Amino acid sequence: MPAVGAIASFRPGSFAPHRTGDRRTGAAGRVLTSKYAEHTPLYRQSEIYARQGVVLSRSVLSGWVDACCRLLAPLDEALQHYVLTDGKLHADDTPVPVLLPGNKKTKTGRLWTYVRDDRNAGSALAPAVWFAYSPDRKGIHPQTHLAGFSGVLQADAYAGSTSSTATAI
């Protein structure tokens, strides 16, 4: 029996996170936090909810993640634009293990980190970080990310990070 105020099972595709007062909006936020901040995979979250009597299949949770990502896409684009329009940018990549579907082995993907932060130079503009994922370390990924960037790029010596309009330091 679900706890008082708990979420019961929902039909796949019934989630509309933009509805005001929809309890699933808070639940979807919890799912995203668990997945991305606490690194709890959806299958494990489904098991955790099931122990509390709440039936949320992986496909439902995955649908919620997809719906939230679609809703947050404009925010991601705005953040990317804000970070990359500064004249000075810090960049780096971090290897991340990626579990391939149907395979018990991991592959190494990359999280590319782009930082705008001129507080040390006296800027009052808010610092920001934009992340981009790629399945490998090919130079085409940072070159694509930095295609519209013009300015000073502070990065390690990875040759793939250079952009034709950036001055690397």
Domain boundary, last residue among 7, 38, 72? 72
Distance CA 68, CA 46 (A): 18
**Is residue 163 included in any domain, yes or no?**
yes
State residue 156's pLDDT score.
85
Contact 116, 146 (CB under 8 A): no
Residue 168 binned pLDDT confidence (cut-offs 50, 70, 90): low
**Is residue 3 included in any domain, yes or no?**
no
Is the pLDDT confidence value at 109 over 90?
yes
- What mean pLDDT comes out for the span 90-119? 91
The rounded mean pLDDT for the chain is 84
**Is residue 39 included in any domain, yes or no?**
yes
Question: What is the tally of structural domains in the chain?
Answer: 2
Residue-wise pLDDT for 132-146, tens only, equals 999 999 999 999 999
Reported as half-sphere exposure (CB side, CA atoms, 13 A), residue 162 has a value of 7
Q: Residue 27: which domain range?
A: 23-72
Non-local CB neighbours of 100 within 8 Å, separated by 6+ positions: 106, 107
Q: Are residues 27 and 95 in the same domain?
A: no
Count the neighbouring beta carbons within 10 Å of the beta carbon of residue 10: 17
Strand stretches in the chain, DSSP E? 88-99, 106-116, 128-134, 151-154, 166-168
**Is residue 80 included in any domain, yes or no?**
no
In the three-class reduction of DSSP (H, G, I as helix; E, B as strand; rest coil), residue 132 is classed as: strand
